[in-house]
Structure 1
């Protein structure tokens, strides 16, 4: 049985708890997220790399980064993590008073801070508030978030290049981006946003590049990848459908049989 609960101190600070074999989600976070994984295991899969974390781990997930996040319970203990959302508004107010040590956008990748005592202390100081099950007063919440930002900068000054960058994604090569990220199951609006285009411009440019609609192209690319993983890598349909971009196994099986003439289980 899968049970997932989330307790919010504020809209920006939460404690999540998961009990079950596995919980998967695909995300493009609107804000940077600082995570303290207390127990359990978290795997973050991106287009070109992946990270595996187990408690106790601290890591920062950048905004606008596409990733599949897979949480697991381990050792008979539930998966627990404290997450702090570093919103653009909060960071802009912070940097209005301070000059960043580094400017310019860093590569959108997960930054690891495991083992840093000041960060661990900052995140652990939130636990008594969760036990009280009371809302965190706004002034204390602001202090805690500011403390976390300050410690991140002191730990790695290069983090400024990520936290102080507030621009929206610029217009990029659509074909290269889609070939690299087609397996992420996102709304077309979000694909367009990450390519620096409105939905209408994304659809128009997509047709020019691929000579078909985004949805048809995405389905075909995902099925081709699934067929390769099933036939060449000898994987099982239940382990493949999510990773190639389908929401559920039944939809994947139907689309697969429609394209190839046989069920994925036949491989």
Structure 2
């Protein structure tokens, strides 16, 4: 079944034009794996129940409800898995570059000479202070009349000031990266960062912000080989290396490199190396 692409936060609120800052209490009762997500705004995801895995163009993270994640706008693949109570829940606080601009205008002492321009996420510990902040946000969600734009902006500003105090320079650099909206990631870097994952061509194309046909043409022009053939060879080389060193068995390894079953993996392996995975000592 083909994965659905979600445009967030528009799809959550079922409207196209949204304010620069929004709050949403997201709840699910079934797992969602590798959903294609287009983030139109920056967001802080405060996990309440369950686990989240996010695959960016240059990195992958996994967090549970002890953490929150601040993410830059852009494309990602997101998996949401149910917690012990058979539910997934997160409080989502959306904000825009304009909100950050206003914040830095109000607090010019936090402006840095330059930003790195490469960070797409920042993992935050949900300590006691953050837990109380999230609890207060959820109370506002239960009483929508109290949740006006001024109050939400004040709560967001409180969170920003607390996180700057806690994480210091690294968080300030990340915020300034968001201000400049650094979403340009080189095609080659996306490919090489995801070389030994189980992502398929369609998912890689999505992370590169390309259609599958454009992705294939661009890939061939750079690597002078079709992406399917090139990636399979590289991944099978890595699989052979892992098997040779006894790191994993064939029955444990095939899913890591995107094969649906052990039989398909073994056939591709034997075609490339002339021996089956079992024959690799």
TM-score above 0.5, yes or no:
yes
CA contact (8 A) 1:38 1:57 kept: no
- TM-score w.r.t. the length of structure 1 is 0.65
1:20-39 counterparts in 2 under 5 A? 20-27=30-37, 29-39=39-49
Matched, 1:71 2:88: no
CA contact (8 A) 2:56 2:207 kept: no
| Distance in 2, Cα, partners of 1:151 & 1:121 | 12
SS in 2 for 1:52: strand
- Larger Rg, first or second structure (1 or 2): 2
| Distance in 2, Cα, partners of 1:105 & 1:94 | 19
Matched, 1:234 2:251: yes
Matched, 1:54 2:64: yes
Could you say if the C-alpha distance between residues 171 and 87 of structure 1 is closer, same or farther in structure 2, counting changes exceeding 3 Å?
A: closer
SS in 2 for 1:162: helix
| Distance in 2, Cα, partners of 1:221 & 1:16 | 39
Matched, 1:114 2:102: no
Structure 2 unaligned blocks of 5 or more: 1-10, 244-248, 269-276
Corresponding residue for residue 147 of structure 2: 136
Tell me which protein shows more helix as a share of its residues. Answer: 2
| Distance in 2, Cα, partners of 1:167 & 1:84 | 19
| Distance in 2, Cα, partners of 1:192 & 1:50 | 17
Name whichever of 77-86 and 42-51 sits farther off. Answer: 42-51
**62, 70, 80: which is aligned to 2:89?**
80
Could you say if the C-alpha distance between residues 56 and 167 of structure 1 is closer, same or farther in structure 2, counting changes exceeding 3 Å?
A: closer
**161, 167, 171: which is aligned to 2:173?**
161
Alignment root-mean-square deviation, CA: 4.5
Name whichever of 177-186 and 152-161 sits farther off. Answer: 177-186
Corresponding residue for residue 98 of structure 2: 89
Name whichever of 11-20 and 100-109 sits farther off. Answer: 100-109
CA contact (8 A) 1:37 1:55 kept: yes
- TM-score w.r.t. the length of structure 2 is 0.62
| Distance in 2, Cα, partners of 1:83 & 1:170 | 21
